[in-house]
Structure 1
Amino acid sequence: MTAESADTHGSGRLLTPQADAARATGAVFPPPRAADTGATRGPTAPPGGTPAGPLVADAVAVLAAGALVFAADLGVLLLAVGAGLGTVIVLNAHGGLYRTGPTASALDELPGLAARSLLAWAAVAALLAGTEPERALGYPALLLLPAAHTPLACTGRAVVYAVRRQQARRRPRSTLVVGSGPTRDAVTTALLTHPEYGMRPVGLAVCGPENTPETAPEDGPRLPVLTSAEDVSRAVIQNAVAHAVFTTPPTHDPAAAALARRLTDHGCAVWLVDCGPPGTARRP
């Protein structure tokens, strides 16, 4: 089992938003509908927070690196920082570096941040060479910019993620784990032993052709096993469940897909355990 499927050291990604996985497979899970009764809720905020924190960290890193090289010329500083920040945001967004998740790690993102920083500042250098030839960057400045920017961005993101983990530890949200077998038990154990993920398992849901009661994991508290859609709905309402973690893609089984839609209708954030090769994350 990879670090993505059941991280037990808190260093890798554990989950990917089910919306991304659904796009990758061509399936569509509708967003939560407006509440028709008191049993439904609005969409749940992801445990990893919003992209605002990483965006601020990137902006500070670009500004600091730009000030280090262009402090003597305010006009060039503003041009370089504006172009650099815009390019960094576009590149990082394209690379999935603003996606939220409970196990985000700045060290995991470091290679991507470094590569995109180099590309962004190379683009700024090309812009300056074309618009301000007399202020074109030399090789020392071109190397200094990403060398200063990358560690600052990584450090800023590490601080953001540390604060998020502390907040999640203090305010965990009720979670259902959907699946069967060792993977389900490993995921449940990982969530129970890592409160910084902000997900507190309150039940185990079983669906599909093997929809029979199973024993809960031996480690940790005994969790109820839910074997019908009605049981799941009741548990969601009674426990104010905010998240549902699927250990296999719901698109592989009609019953699981129907359950995923039911959970989103209840306002739950649906996640999929990433069982890809170590160091990778599923993307659309």
Structure 2
Amino acid sequence: MTTIDNEELPAGVGAVGLEHVRGQGSGHSSAAGAPAVRGGTGLPVALLAVDALAAVGALALVLPGGAAVALRAACGLLPALVLMYSSGGQYRLRLAPSVLDELPGLAGRATIALAFALTFERCLQTVLLPFALPTTIPADVRVLILLLLAHLTLDSLGRALVYRAIRSRRRRAPRPTLIAGAGHVGQRIAAALLEHPEYGLRPIGFVDADPIFLPADFPVPVLGGPDVLVREVPRRGIRDVILTGGGADEDRAPQMLRISTDFGCDVWFVPSFPDYGAFEHAGRRTAVGDHLWGFPCLRLGSNPMQRPSWAVKRAFDACFAGLGLLLLSPVLLVCALGVRLEGGPGVIFRQERIGLDGRPFTVLKFRTLRPVDEHESATRWNIAHDHRLGPVGRFLRRASLDELPQLWNVLRGEMSLVGPRPERPYFVMRFAQAYPRYRERHRVPVGLTGFAQVNGLRGDTSIEDRARFDNYYIDSWSLWQDVKILLRTVLAVLRTDGS
């Protein structure tokens, strides 16, 4: 029997309390007990409302039949529209929002959403015939172009009004801001913010351990080195932190990012002058670039769970899990019968795993192997090659069918369809000690499948690699990324090459 003891784990692994893991996972390691000071989700909610009203308004203006037909058509169009806009970053907080900058992205994604709604209606009518209602969106190119133009016009006007209100509010109530780095870039950013209140950021201090370039009469003081963040952020009600490249404390930027996000701050990164060309080139290829009075900047470290699109993810999880349990009930019944015949009573295997914010929960699986005792269940790393595995259990594991009961965990909100895979407390304690970023996997709910798994990191593979893939998934999360992972998971299951 193979169990993982401390000697078998990577060097430096030792027992660490789950309270430590829980604190780190929840994002309060450096800021324990600190209140979150994030500014809320007013902007995304306002943009969501504008997009919905623009879509319904365009449908009502172009389609015959009035409001009733428009509302029916919106049922297919709005979910696709929100999904496309969210995946394209159209609801993200920006320092310099501009409708004209967004217009190409809005037009392209609205076109895709309209095509999806049209296809969905036709498929639904085919499946439900003769019970389906007549289609609402005609397959007429002229009508579709009119719909698109009407939506973009209304949406652009609405977003312009929202951005105007945001700029006005920013001038009236700028957010207290710290600038990490008092060098040339930091000073010019501070001066730009003082001169242009429409950005809504009020610099109240620099964080710099060695501010050798700062003039004595500069209006923004130096508060100290990176260690002052823990004290100054809650004390001064800091809402934003700007990290500048090329400073003396550049090697401590990850620590400053972690502390700032622990307190719920929005963090912006501005590169040093030598990095401008590469940064601007990257910004042109992505939808997340922004600028601060001509200085290219990028928002860092935002928690995906604070985005409105995360609510869409949760709704999709609940609907898919409920529908999956219903449609797959014959498969579940056959699997349960096979497990019962091969291994006797106790078809469902329950085990404690660590989920969101380091909190434990009970995961459900079909029992494929009956452990000798609870200690083996909690500390045995891999049973894929155990001689006690019967043909039914081996098949269920190879086809990943033993994971199907976890749809119930997804329905209950303990898991998501996509996210870092949950692990047992025994291993979480040790991996968190050995790999510094392992604990950061618990920033989001654990998942039925994950980015690491679809890239082949399952079974006896590198824990460090898994943590890196999981954290990349969290940092770059989008609804479309979840869709891609689910599609790749289906392909992997069909190949039945599970661990």
Tell me the TM-score normalised to structure 2 length. 0.44
Residue 31 (structure 1) aligned with residue 36 (structure 2): no
Partner of 1:263: 260
Partner of 1:70: 63
Partner of 1:137: 139
Q: Aligned equivalents of 1:188 and 1:154: distance in 2?
A: 32
Residues 74, 35 of structure 1: alpha-carbon distance in 2 compared, 3 angstrom cutoff: same
Residues 72, 216 of structure 1: alpha-carbon distance in 2 compared, 3 angstrom cutoff: same
Query: 2:122 touches 2:135 (CA, 8 Å); kept in 1?
Result: yes
Q: Aligned equivalents of 1:99 and 1:53: distance in 2?
A: 12
Query: 2:30 touches 2:259 (CA, 8 Å); kept in 1?
Result: no
One-letter amino acid matched to 1:69? V
Residue 89 (structure 1) aligned with residue 89 (structure 2): no
Partner of 2:201: 199
Larger RCO (CA under 8 A, 6+ residues apart): 1
**Matching of residues 183-198 of structure 1 within 5 Å:** 183-198=185-200
Query: 1:129 touches 1:136 (CA, 8 Å); kept in 2?
Result: no
User: Which structure 2 residue ranges, 5 or more long, are not aligned?
Assistant: 1-23, 126-133, 272-278, 290-297, 299-475, 477-499
Partner of 1:148: 150
One-letter amino acid matched to 1:247? T
One-letter amino acid matched to 2:193? L
Partner of 2:210: 212
Residues 151, 268 of structure 1: alpha-carbon distance in 2 compared, 3 angstrom cutoff: same
Query: 1:176 touches 1:203 (CA, 8 Å); kept in 2?
Result: yes
Deviation at 1:168, TM superposition (A): 1.3
Q: Aligned equivalents of 2:28 and 2:246: distance in 1?
A: 19
**Matching of residues 1-284 of structure 1 within 5 Å:** 31-32=27-28, 36=32, 40-45=34-39, 49-72=42-65, 76-130=69-123, 131=125, 132=134, 136-206=138-208, 211-216=209-214, 222-248=219-245, 253-273=250-270, 275-277=279-281, 279=284, 280=286, 281-282=288-289, 284=476
Deviation at 1:162, TM superposition (A): 0.9
CA offsets 1:108-147 (integer angstroms, 9 cap, x no match): 1111011111122222233344424697331210110001
CA offsets 1:24-58 (integer angstroms, 9 cap, x no match): xxxx9963569756xx3323216x84310110110
Residues 36, 118 of structure 1: alpha-carbon distance in 2 compared, 3 angstrom cutoff: closer
Residues 30, 145 of structure 1: alpha-carbon distance in 2 compared, 3 angstrom cutoff: same
Partner of 1:11: none
Q: Aligned equivalents of 1:192 and 1:30: distance in 2?
A: 34
Query: 2:31 touches 2:230 (CA, 8 Å); kept in 1?
Result: no
Q: Aligned equivalents of 1:268 and 1:134: distance in 2?
A: 45
Q: Aligned equivalents of 2:60 and 2:194: distance in 1?
A: 45
One-letter amino acid matched to 1:183? V
SS in structure 1 of the partner of residue 268 of structure 2: strand
Tell me the TM-score normalised to structure 1 length. 0.74
One-letter amino acid matched to 2:73? A
Query: 2:31 touches 2:259 (CA, 8 Å); kept in 1?
Result: no
SS in structure 1 of the partner of residue 253 of structure 2: helix
Deviation at 1:150, TM superposition (A): 0.8
Q: Aligned equivalents of 2:151 and 2:211: distance in 1?
A: 53
Deviation at 1:216, TM superposition (A): 3.3
Deviation at 1:202, TM superposition (A): 0.8
SS in structure 1 of the partner of residue 154 of structure 2: helix
Deviation at 1:193, TM superposition (A): 1.9
SS in structure 2 of the partner of residue 158 of structure 1: helix
SS in structure 2 of the partner of residue 272 of structure 1: strand
Q: Aligned equivalents of 1:134 and 1:224: distance in 2?
A: 62
SS in structure 2 of the partner of residue 113 of structure 1: helix
**How many residues are matched?**
248
SS in structure 1 of the partner of residue 162 of structure 2: helix
Q: Aligned equivalents of 2:252 and 2:120: distance in 1?
A: 54
Deviation at 1:260, TM superposition (A): 2.4
Q: Which deviates more from structure 2 when the two are superposed, residues 220-229 or residues 118-127?
A: 220-229
User: Which structure 1 residue ranges, 5 or more long, are not aligned?
Assistant: 1-27
Deviation at 1:62, TM superposition (A): 0.2
SS in structure 2 of the partner of residue 45 of structure 1: coil
CA offsets 1:54-91 (integer angstroms, 9 cap, x no match): 10110111011100122426554333111111111010
- Larger of the two Rg values belongs to structure: 2
Q: Aligned equivalents of 1:217 and 1:31: distance in 2?
A: 36
Query: 1:125 touches 1:142 (CA, 8 Å); kept in 2?
Result: no
